[in-house]
Copies of this chain bind each other. A is one copy, B any other.
Amino acid sequence: MATLSDIGLSAAINILSAFAFLLAFAFLRLQPFNDRVYFPKWYLKGVRNSPTSSGTFVRKFVNLDFRSYLRFLEWMPAALKMPEPELIDHAGLDSAIYLRIYLIGLKIFVPITLVAFAVLVPVNWTNDFLDKSTAVHSDIDKLSISNIPKGSERFWTHIVMQYAFTFWTCYILLKEYEIVASMRLHFLASAKRRPDQFTVLVKNIPPDPDESVSELVEHFFLVNHRDHYLTHQVVYDANKLSKLVGKKKSMQNWLDYFQLKYERNPSKRPMCKNGFLGLCGNKVDAIEHYTDEINKLSKEEAEEREKIKNNHKSVIPAAFVSFRTRWGAAVCAQTQQTRNPTLWLTEWAAEPRDVYWNNLAIPFVSLTVRRLIVAVAFFFLTFFFMIPIAFVQSLANIEGIEKALPFLKPIIEAKLIKSFIQGFLPGIALKIFLILLPTILMMMSKFEGFLSISALERRAASKYYMFLLVNVFLGSIITGAAFEQLHTFIHQSANEIPKTIGVAIPMKATFFITFIMVDGWAGIAGEILRLKPLVMYHLKNFFLVKTEKDREEAMDPGSIGFDSAEPQIQLYFLLGLVYAVVTPFLLPFIIVFFGLAYVVFRHQIINVYNQEYESGAAFWPAVHGRIVVALIISQMLLLGLLSTKEAAQSTPFLIALPVMTYTFHRFCKNRYEPAFVKYPLQEAMMKDTLEHAREPNLDLKGYLLNAYIHPMFKDEDDDDLSAGDEREFDNVLVPTKRQSRRNTPAPSKFADSPPPSLPDASGEQLFE
């Protein structure tokens, strides 16, 4: 058990390391040659010019103005300064609402902490149960519920506090749901004309022997939505084409690399091997080799394009159908079209850049089977992932390495290195797995057949949350691998499980405090440094960049990464709510986490991240739901804990809490969730009427004609698309100092190709 001074030391170390990260960040961000790493969002918006184009040569790379170093935390107030409406306009509603998750953390936990320290800490402290008992204990335990003797009347305080905290949390959640729902509706209402407002995605179009998909769609909607149907776009199966384009791009990178190398050292023609991964095969002239390859691929690509366009088999049975009015689209999206509910399925089309094209062709029956497979796979992943990792660990020992790579033997045998490897190796398989985990979960979600990137991220997030809950939260409390926990749960009775966990809760407080400091504080401070993009950018800048356009492509602004970031925040909500009554001493650490993370992510969202899509905060019901789950878990665990404390006469009062909390959740779901799922007809009608009055002669058909074309075909029709692309830069709420975009066709990078963090179709490859 750690004492207060241990915690103090750990806090000091972590505060120092967080401080060091912030200092490093403050230093690095001021260097002009890092400008594209720390302010990519502004480059993409076209507001910022390359800093290398002005000033003396040295000033281009290093900031010599020492005054600027003195105010090294000045980014913090700057990050907080931008008002929310401008933030929504600048980074989208998703990002602005995402920040509100941290704000909720503060809103919930600051008052709870004040009350807990004012009431619970004195109540706990003025006992001397632990002093009398023989068990080892720390100073923190004296502040926690452990210090209260069994059967004491003081437990009433904890029960009342749990009620108070529950009501406060529910109150904040309710308010916040209300605010977010109205922000979403306002956002949708004030949004400029967008193709997805008029468009519905139709899936599972039945095959017809006489008509093509396109004719079929036209006829069907002309009959059944007579007054509203406008036009439609069929979807081509361009997965093979995407692969070719990707391959060509990587070849182009290599070509650039060798050309740059040749330019810098013209005396020597660069050579490369033409075999697998450039590791084997004959040596050939690199530039010639890659030019050849690129030409070959270009030809193949053109052939594939022709083939897709002319072959009616490459049209998949799905289409984007556009309507004359938003009302017509809203009606079509919310209704069932035919007798057979597995045919002609309609749903709102996602934004064009949010569409996940690879999943559009999955038939209905296969969806059920896919969900089953993923559910089973996820179950095994969660509870049994330690088994293959333990197996890999048993292989990856020193002897194994020496056997496989005998030439490394002298190095490995050196004492210092040997002990390092022995200490490091067992952990590395686990570490690699944990780094890959969000990608694996994303693949699983893709395999399940979701149709938009935003839906995929939401699904992957809920899986990741389950994993964290079982393996981090429960795994730390009941020490032992997850499958051992599973065994325990199956073999324990329903009322024993909360007891087992509840009893262990107070003992793990110091562990979780350290966890919060390492994972939360230092982790968040590390996030702002952006070490990986920093290194990658400079590598690319050195080896590949020839033109300004290349440099722009070398920037990796990244995005929030809802699928892995949000579940981690939820872990802190869970810890905070569980320990609020049990060990209030943990709460200030949670508050510091939420405060720091809020500032850091606000800075990142303003200056760095470039969100790939705009879902209009569609993730909020999931966020809300998980906080409610955390609340119910905290109530169950307190119930379990108190039932071992012989406070039998008081515990029944706690049983009502989960029931009431669940009812609260049902109420919120009914009251607010429709705002995130459906599009009310009144709103649609209002916007239609307004638009009709303002622009009676609008050519809507022309506007929608190519909005939902597959990204692979978009380049060809780029000029048709100007209307659609302008959109993003039109809907300005607050005037900013934006200049016109210089040479940046930047959005095309993120809208026209699958985003780099989401490998195409790899989910299917893994499981099929």
Contacts and interface: CB of A to CB of B under 8 A. Distances in A.
Nearest to A184: B339
Contacts of A337: 680-682
Interface in A660-714: 660, 663, 666-667, 670-675, 678-683, 685
A295 interface: no
A660 B373 CA distance: 10
Given A372-B659, A372-B660, A491-B495, 17 more contacts: A182-B339, A185-B339, A223-B682, A224-B682, A330-B335, A331-B335, A335-B681, A336-B678, A338-B680, A338-B683, A339-B675, A341-B670, A341-B673, A341-B678, A344-B682, A490-B494, A491-B494
Contacts of A495: 490-491
Interface in A217-255: 223-227
Given A341-B672, A493-B490, A335 B667 contact: no
B670 A368 contact: yes
Contacts of A678: 335-336, 341
Contacts of A369: 663
A376 interface: yes
Q: Classify the interface of chain A: helix, strand, loop or mixed.
A: helix
Contact of A224 (B182, B225, B376, B685): B685
Interface of A: 182, 185, 223-227, 330-331, 334-339, 341-342, 344, 364-365, 368-369, 371-372, 376, 489-496, 659-660, 663, 666-667, 670-675, 678-683, 685
Given A341-B671, A493-B491, A671-B341, A336 B372 contact: no
A682 to B, nearest CB: 5
B683 A223 contact: no
A348 to B, nearest CB: 12
A663 B368 contact: yes
Nearest to A369: B663
A748 to B, nearest CB: 35
A489 B674 CA distance: 37
A403 to B, nearest CB: 37
Contacts of A371: 663, 666
19 contacts: A224-B682, A225-B681, A331-B331, A335-B335, A335-B681, A336-B674, A336-B681, A338-B680, A341-B678, A368-B663, A368-B667, A368-B670, A371-B663, A372-B660, A491-B495, A491-B496, A492-B493, A492-B494, A494-B494
Given A335-B678, A674-B336, A679-B336, A666 B490 contact: no
A354 to B, nearest CB: 22
A57 B141 CA distance: 97
Given A224-B685, A365-B667, A368-B667, A336 B491 contact: no
A179 B37 CA distance: 63
A166 to B, nearest CB: 15
A368 B659 CA distance: 12
A666 B339 contact: no
Contacts of A344: 682
The winner among A339, A365, A489, A679 for most chain B CB atoms within 10 A is: A339
